[in-house]
Each structure stands twice: as C-alpha cells, then as structure tokens.
Chain A
Amino acid sequence: GENVEQHPSTLSVQEGDSAVIKCTYSDSASNYFPWYKQELGKGPQLIIDIRSNVGEKKDQRIAVTLNKTAKHFSLHITETQPEDSAVYFCAAARGNYQLIWGAGTKLIIKP
C-alpha cells in the first residue's frame, strides 16, 4: 500500500533562515499532497497543498515543490519566525478520500 516517508524528524534552524522538509511517497497514482502544521495541544491545520498537475506552489513565505518522477515533494519555509515552531506533517492521497501521513517533523526556530 501507499507509504509516505518524511525527513528529517527534527529540524533546528536560526530565526530568519530557511527550512526544508522532504517527503517521498510510493504510490505513483497519488495526485494530491497537503502539508499540515500542528501546534502543541492542537489538531493539525492545513498550510499549503499541491496537486499532481503542477510542480510548485507558493503562499507568501511557504512553498511546496513536487517531483512526480522521483515521487517526492518538499516544504520550504523562508525567513523563519518563532511562530513557525511546530510539528509539520506531509500527506499523500490514496484513493478518493484517504490521506497517508508522514511521521512528522518537529521544527525548532532558534532566536
């Protein structure tokens, strides 16, 4: 079945620097790839998503890139700020309504 691997498990960056989180998926039929941010004590919240018919999508300081051939996609956060500290999850679609989730990346922004 579909499998999603996410790296790194923990990422520590200096405030103002960029952060990159990478995910790989196994099912070539997957066509939707969202990224969710989970703050302590809260449920995950969608921050950006991409469909398989585009290679890149940006929203202010956040961008996602997709390489369908290699079956991997990445989250890029530029000019990181303290409020970016959280756990980030990638996911890949399986079928019409299921998402298969990565294990998460804990992002730490150092002041």
Chain B
Amino acid sequence: GAGVSQSPSNKVTEKGKDVELRCDPISGHTALYWYRQSLGQGLEFLIYFQGNSAPDKSGLPSDRFSAERTGGSVSTLTIQRTQQEDSAVYLCASSLGTLYNEQFFGPGTRLTVL
C-alpha cells in the first residue's frame, strides 16, 4: 500500500518568503507528527495531531511556524518569513495513534533558505 508522501521533495527559497510543506499520511492513521532534522542532528519534534483533538504545538520554534490538518488526513506545515536557520529536512510521520505504534515516515522535504 501507499506510504507517507511529502511534497515538494526539495524547496529552495529566499529569506523572508513563506513556504508550505505538504504531508499525505497513510490512510487510517489517526496520529501525524512533524519533525525537523538539521544536518547531523536527531529529530526535533515540532507538532502532533491526533484525530479531532487539539494539536500539541509545543515544539514549534517560533510563531512563524504553523500547521494544520484538514479532515484528519492531509497536513500542511507553513513557515512564514523564512530565515536561514530554518534550512533543514522536514519529516512527517503517521501512526495508528498510540506511542507504541510504529511511526511511518515520509521521505522528507529538504528546505534551503538562501
């Protein structure tokens, strides 16, 4: 079956521009995570969606970052007024819901801010 997909795979933008990153989770997965992975670093938690519950936004690094999940499926991560330090790989993962369920990751979006 189809896995988690993300688009675009690569995004180059100029400092100050807004970007939108998209994630299509596995059908039926109620949980969706966004992570940021900087070069040589682990995964930094950004935001968590679970079903119709209010998302946990505690990992978002600033108010320039926001995310939404429409209809419990597709999610969009938006970064406004991008900065060079936003350059990283943004990973999306989905799971069946509990912590003990495997997180299935997409291939990521590599964001480069010039």
Contacts and interface: CB of A to CB of B under 8 A. Distances in A.
B41 A104 contact: yes
B105 A43 contact: yes
Contacts of A91: 43
Given A32-B99, A41-B107, A102 B42 contact: yes
A42 B107 contact: yes
A69 interface: no
A63 interface: no
Interface residues of A, number: 25
B33 to A, nearest CB: 8
Interface in A38-87: 41-46, 49, 51
A42 B9 CA distance: 11
A103 B50 contact: no
A98 B99 CA distance: 7
A43 B4 contact: yes
A43 B105 CA distance: 5
A111 B99 CA distance: 38
CB-based closest 8 A-B pairs? A43-B105, A101-B42, A101-B43, A46-B102, A103-B42, A97-B99, A44-B105, A102-B42
15 contacts: A4-B42, A32-B100, A41-B107, A42-B105, A43-B93, A43-B106, A46-B102, A96-B98, A97-B50, A98-B48, A98-B99, A99-B43, A99-B99, A100-B45, A103-B42
Interface of B: 4, 31, 40-45, 48, 50, 56, 91, 93, 98-100, 102-108
Interface of A: 4, 6, 9, 32, 34, 41-46, 49, 51, 89, 91, 93, 96-104
